[in-house]
Amino acid sequence: MAPNQKGNVDIVAVAKAAKVSPSTVSRTFNHPDLVSPATRKKINRAVQKLGYVRNRAAQMMHGKRSGTIGLVVPTINHAIFAEVIQAFSDAIDQAGFTLLLASHGYDLDREYEMVRKLMEHRVDGVALIGLEHSAATSRLIAQQETPAMAIWNYEEESELPCVGADNRLAGRMAAEHLLELGHRDIGLIFPDTRGNDRAQYRLNSVLEALREKGVSVPEHRMSEAPYSVAQAKQAAIRLFSGGARPSALLCGNDVIAQGALYGAQKCGLRVPGDVSIIGIGDFKGSADIEPGLTTIRIPAETIGSLAGQRFTEYITSDTREQFRLCCGLERVVRGTTCPAA
């Protein structure tokens, strides 16, 4: 009665219904040109009628690709990663792949576990955020010979193929903008840099660029905030409340910058009149906030798209030539910075 009496509609059920052999059904899917149009029609009708859905797991056992790509991110719930994930997902979808997603909360040991988990599912490739990973992770990837890539950071000598931006340059550009405007007393709010090479690179290069111009940042001008508007707001308020306040704030990313901006507004400070604020990232929304946030734009969407395209090419090609793509940065001057008084 029911077209699908048992729920186990497989290729042989289809074959039976179409009165052909399983081989022919399989061929209809994989090499349609080898099957006569008439038979193909019969088979398609049977597929339709029975509601057959291919079983990729079974295909995979014949050396076929699983058609999945694993992506391991620190966190999903994060403007910038969400944007990258979306773009990456769309790009690999275009190439017929499906995304297996896992997050580790900035814990490199958990990252290893996640990569391992994905490999149990025999992903055709695994993409990681950033270039800093545990030795165990690298070993696992090498051992399994799973194609792997890094997203978000670019480095000339990177171990893994990568598509991303130069975070050191980003930090430098932010610092130089402030310096050019004449700021010398600069406050810094950055996230914890452990297990986060992006933040690490940015912070180091900011400090370096400032030092080159003879500007040093005393301890009490530095604050740490996790990736959260609320906490960054608090951190900024703390920086502002101690005696003399800095003339400018350089924030490790736009979320923190946004929090800092609210913090300043809360303290009754005019931005940029009383204090200039610059972020890094140019997240969705940074342009629209009032006043518009000055920042260093990292093209998240481009990075995600490019990464997805390039990675699927890499996986499906048999040559497997390494790739390293550097996406350009852009200084976006909006309303939160102005010359020092």
Q: Which stretches of the chain bind its own copies, using CB under 8 A?
A: 3-4, 7, 51, 53-58, 60-61, 66-68, 75-79, 82-83, 85-86, 89-90, 93, 98-103, 116-122, 140, 143-145, 228-230, 233, 258-259, 262, 265-266, 284-285, 287-290
Beta strand 125-129 pairing with 68-73: parallel
Q: Is 45 in the site for DNA (CB under 7 A)?
A: no
Instruction: State the binding partner of 333 from DNA, its own copies, none, CB within 5 to 8 A by kind.
Output: none
DSSP letter assigned to residue 202? H
In whole angstroms, the minimum distance from the beta carbon of 101 to its own copies comes to: 5
Q: Is 21 in the site for DNA (CB under 7 A)?
A: yes
* 128 versus 173: smaller Cβ distance to its own copies: 128
Report d(CA 149, CA 271) in Å as an integer: 40
Give φ, ψ of 159 to 5 degrees. -65, -45
Report d(CA 141, CA 22) in Å as an integer: 36
In whole angstroms, the minimum distance from the beta carbon of 176 to its own copies comes to: 28
* 75 versus 158: smaller Cβ distance to its own copies: 75
Number of H helices, E strands in the chain: 12, 12
* 265 versus 302: smaller Cβ distance to its own copies: 265
* 54 versus 116: smaller Cβ distance to DNA: 54
Instruction: State the binding partner of 230 from DNA, its own copies, none, CB within 5 to 8 A by kind.
Output: its own copies
Give φ, ψ of 262 to 5 degrees. -60, -40
Q: How many other CB atoms sit within 10 Å of the CB of residue 255? A: 25
Beta strand 148-153 pairing with 162-165: parallel
The radius of gyration of the chain from alpha carbons, rounded to an integer in Å, stands at 26
In whole angstroms, the minimum distance from the beta carbon of 34 to DNA comes to: 5
Greatest Cα pair distance in the chain: 87
Q: If DSSP codes are grouped into helix, strand and coil, which group holds residue 101?
A: strand
User: Which residue bears the tokens 């910058």?
Assistant: 257
* 21 versus 94: smaller Cβ distance to DNA: 21
* 117 versus 324: smaller Cβ distance to its own copies: 117
Q: Which residues bind DNA (CB under 7 A)?
A: 8, 10-12, 19-27, 29-31, 34-36, 38-39, 52, 54-55, 58-59, 61-64
